Amino acid sequence: MLIFATNNENKAREVQAILPAGIKVSTLKEAGIDQDIPEPYDTLEENALEKARVIHRLTGNNCFSEDTGLEVEALDGAPGVHSARYAGEHRSNEANIALLLHNLEGKTARRARFRTVVALIWNNEEHLFEGVCTGHIAFAPTGSGGFGYDPIFIPEGSDRSFGEMTMEEKSRYSHRKKAVAQLVAFLNQVS
Ligand code: ITT
């Protein structure tokens, strides 16, 4: 069994749609694990590893996790690793988006990127994979698809936000798709 150590159902849905049929993954919920995993560190890499380590210690299973951040150039990389709690501990997507748009008011330079780090523990060894999607922050939210910051992120090569895309369309550009593609390549090599 390979466990995906996440409590975020949107992430789980996206990752499961990306994985080929031959790679079977259980989410924490499916594995019957009810555990809130801390993300105490200042880098995506350390947080992703910590999540995978907690679940590996608990279950002894091969497992992976991922940590994602939205890095905005004009804000020196913020919200970055703090993306989930940008507007406070209540982790509200609407409040996070409102604060980000507020902090970018009057700024025309709106380049940004999503970065996903996948941490895999496979036969007691740790591996990291990274996926980046560059684009820019819109002036207002559009669409009701996706999750998190999707309604205000327009990937390079499109004029629509992730919020306006289906999951399959988002995956053509996405940070998560690129990181998971590397995970899949690794798993195909070793299994
Ligand atoms: P885990 O259980 O996997 O830790 P999480 O919800 O805590 O799930 P993250 O810390 O990785 O996930 O997410 C950081 C923030 O970035 C959070 O506000 C998400 O909504 C947002 N986010 C992550 N991936 C995103 C994506 O593909 N599109 C838009 N927003 C995203």
- DSSP of 22-33: T--EEETTTTT-
**From CA 37, how far away is CA 54, in angstroms rounded?**
7
The total number of residues written for the chain in this structure: 191
Please state whether the peptide bond connecting residue 38 to the residue before it is cis, i.e. omega within 30 degrees of 0: no
Give the pairing of strands 79-80 and 62-72: antiparallel
Query: If you measure from the C-alpha of residue 93 to the centroid of ligand 1, how many angstroms do you get, rounded to a whole number?
Result: 10
Catalytic site residues?
Answer: 67
3-state secondary structure of 167: helix
Tell me which H or E stretch contains 108: none
pLDDT score of 111 more than 90: yes
Which band of pLDDT confidence, cut at 50, 70 and 90, is reported for residue 94? very high
- State yes or no: pLDDT of 117 exceeds 90: yes
**Nearest of 105, 173, 96, 95 to residue 139 by alpha carbon:** 105
Binding-site residues, ligand 1, Cβ < 6 A:
6-8, 11, 39, 51, 67-68, 83-84, 93, 96, 114, 146-150, 162, 176
Return the bridge partners of 71, or none: 79, 113
Averaged pLDDT for residues 73-97: 96
Q: Ligand 1 centre from 117 Cα, in Å?
A: 11
Per residue in 154-170, pLDDT (tens digit) is 999 999 999 999 999 99
Q: Whose CA is nearest to atom 18 of ligand 1?
A: 84
Name the residue of 9, 14, 53, 68 whose CB sits within 8 Å of the most ligand 1 atoms, as the mutation to test its pocket.
68
The CA 23 to ligand 1 mean position distance, Å, reads: 23
**β-pairing verdict for 25-27 and 2-4:** parallel
